[in-house]
Structure 1
Amino acid sequence: MSLPPTKCTLYPVFAAASPRAVIYRRGPSNQTCLIAWDRTEDSFEVGQWFKGTVKPSWGGLSPDGEWLVSFLGKYRGPFATWTVLSRPPFLTAVALWPKGDTWAGGGFFLSDDTLVLTHGEGPYDLAPGLPPPPGLTVLPFTRANAPVVTARAQSGPAASRWRPDPAVEGGWILDAPAGAPSSHAFIRAVSAYTADPLRSLPESVRHSLCAGGPPVPLQVAGWAAFDRNGDLLFSQEGGLFRLDADRLGGIGSTEELLARARCLADFSDLRFRPLAAPYAAPTPGAEDGFAPILDRVSREDRHRRRQVRKTRERVGRSG
């Protein structure tokens, strides 16, 4: 008997200068799978899973799509949380920066060879044995260099095209690309979680399409964007959809929007499976995939915690 589909959400991230993208598929809540997406032909490659916390909006792809920076956490072990540089669709570390908390973290690319770490005032030390690859410059996003980094980010290929919506409090607008058949259209995003939907929980963001008529709500999706040719891309639970740019006009309802769109893939039925990154040896005895060995709790750590629990239970019974 086949298992029922898992409730999940999709959060794609685009490379700024190529058709490459990566999809963070989350579900169940503590499991995230990476999926490589080539938007030229809408082909997909299911990659590595991670058991723990992943914040997709705190990272991104290099403009050419070769590198991925992500913020991860298990809240145990030597690091608790960390920022990792990997090759998509894998999360196994090529380079790793321990963070230890969720007060900032992650990073973004200014160019193919320049990575900015958003660890606030720190820490910025590398994990032992996991340095960045040769030729990659890593900049800390501290108060001292924030103005320079921000100026470069706003003028570079990875600059966000989202802008505040003057007509809706807490709203943001993403315009269709200039020159596309739907260049008059835009997406409106409103978050019930924070003022910035790009930093909000995906489940809290509501999108609507505005294409010359009244706004048409998308299903509760958590993600929507325009492709480079003006096509509308959006997710609905585990499904990923594309609506051609020349079919955006005259849509009067959510049902009509869904009827016109094509489902590119449905990832609802994916289940966790261990998968080794081709660029790193698997960790012997791995419990939840092939994350770096430094991310893990050692046998000694688990034994020590069991002893602490037993001691507390004895004290509680005697008291």
Structure 2
Amino acid sequence: MLDPQRFRRPVVFFANAIGDHLIALPAIRALSHIFSGRLSLIVVREAYTEFFSEIPFESVWFIEPSELADSYTILMQKIALVSFNYETLAKQASGCDLFISLSKWTSPDLEHLVKSISPPKSIGFLPIFNYQLPEVSSNCFDTIFSIIHLFNLNVKIENFSNPPTIAPQNLSLVHSLKICLDKQFKLLIVHSDTKKRKMWSSDKFLVAIDEFLSFQPDYIAIIIGTFHELPLESASHRNRIFDICAIPLGLSFALLSVADLFLGIDSCMLHAADLFRVPGVGIFGPTDPKEWGFRFAPHKHISSDAIASIASEQVIDALMSFC
């Protein structure tokens, strides 16, 4: 076990997709607590604003992409395909005596960064670090959080798994909506878009939503995310299904904070619903729900190696189990 008091200038590095930032959130909160204000963070600017601005750090340094990509591209999990300005980061992190990477990828520029800083101790999931974290067969939240147990075995993830902070203006908007809905309706939040291989049939998705609304006349459904392919024009309860895809990420999180139920695939919104403790149904195909599914909230996982074989009736039954 490592004594955190030995390290005067620890630095944590993290960059990946949106959902991965949610997964790393408890670990980064716990690291900040363990190092008592001495921890610095290297992160994409947009990720800091969306996920980590509530956490106290000694310094925050931003990953500046090359002209080949912008920060949004990095945030959407293409960091390993682009370069970033490691020279500036190396100067900012000069004197670092503990470098921690919670990312599970590497790139030439990340390796240049670590070599330029040359910390006495480095920790990460890859062989480039002098202490390589083991890949454990557990939920993704616990895998990332396992780094904390190098410093203190008694720290529990539950104490650091509160949801991301919601901006006051977004909180005000959704609370006003919830007050109006509570007079007549409960709120089902739906998220259907992710990488193609993890997406479920749009037709089956709509059947599940539509049938659920038939059984539960006190619910409305709101679709969030980047896009959707659901044929809403064929829905029997179209007047109770609302498409607000492409709203700002923070507002989507705010809606999840007041939701009564969640339905989605393996995606960032499932992880957000989990942190907000929203009961949910997760649909899984090529990814394992034991690793990528709900960790904290009441839930049902429906999985099949061939995601297309999952029937709408299975999803409807799972949703109804929460009503």
Same fold by TM-score greater than 0.5:
no
* TM-score (normalised: structure 1): 0.28
So what's the TM-score if we normalise by structure 2?
Answer: 0.28
Q: Which has the larger share of helix?
A: 2
